[in-house]
Amino acid sequence: MPVRMPVVFVSHGAPDALLKSADTVACWRELGRTIPQPSAILVVSAHWEAQQPTASLAENPETIHDFSGFSPALYRMQYPAPGAPALAEKVVALLSEAGISAGLHPDRGLDHGAWVPLSAMYPDASIPVTQLSLAANNGPAMHFKIGQALAPLRDEGVLIIASGSITHNFSWLDSHADSDQMPLPKAEIFTDWVADRLAANDFPALEGYRSAPYGAEAHPSEDHFLPLFAALGAATGDVPVRFQPRFTYGSLSMDAYLWQNGSQQT
């Protein structure tokens, strides 16, 4: 019987985290070493939205360079993992059983919310992976329900990775910030508030995060925070372990969380 897999949330940061944030890359590598070897990976990324949750049937997912203005080295990077079409079909079946309308995409590749952290977590790109989109125009409650519907995959050896960002306000970014610079106080305050509410398993407060200190500023749009709720739903009450790489660009929190059966807060 497969080991019950954990659930992971990563803040994927800017696309160039692989090149500029050694601290974040080290965190992702540690996660890859900590987690039991999965049979397949399902990524819920902030960078794919569809009218209904949609899973990719791609057998050989393209590495999507969905960004501009970064180092040419980043555009040469590829993540040639095999696809997981059978998992995609299982995802849609589970969502349908839960009363959530869902669909399939014939060949959607891996956006940078998926392949950037995966490149550090599983650099040999040998584990089959598929993506699931966010449900456009739906908020935290729906994404929590999506995560709940997908929780049985954990008992089938599937690693669920939710990829977004704890803070995501472009007006807060400092392109000249280095790794030793103190983060923007607003970003740090909201990041710690999220950590406290996750540790307390306080879903109502998290759902109302826009009323938290700097919550609405941290997320002018919800897309990068919604994957966290999918992770919470799939985690089924497990206690999160917080990982705290340094902020990037002065305000991008790179916090990651691992929910594992029986794990304790560190």
pLDDT grade, residue 93 (50/70/90)? very high
CA quadruple 145, 151, 152, 158: dihedral, nearest 10: 130
Tokens of 90: 């299982």
pLDDT grade, residue 262 (50/70/90)? low
Q: Phi first, then psi: what are they for 215, rounded to 5°?
A: -65, -45
Question: What pLDDT is attached to residue 266?
Answer: 37
- Tell me the DSSP string of 124-158: T--S-EEEEEEETT--HHHHHHHHHHHGGGGGGTE
From CA 150, how far away is CA 233, in angstroms rounded?
Answer: 8
Q: Which residues of 59-75 are buried (b: 16+ CB within 10 A; e: fewer)?
A: eebbbbbeeeeeeeebe
185: left (phi over 0), alpha (psi -120 to 50) or beta: alpha
**pLDDT tens digits, residue range 219-246?**
999 999 999 999 999 998 899 999 999 9
> CB–CB of 118/43 below 8 Å?
yes
Quick one: average pLDDT of 4-20?
95
List the domains of the chain with CATH numbers: 7-259 (3.40.830.10)
Helices within 83-225 (DSSP H only): 85-97, 112-121, 140-150, 185-199, 203-207, 215-218
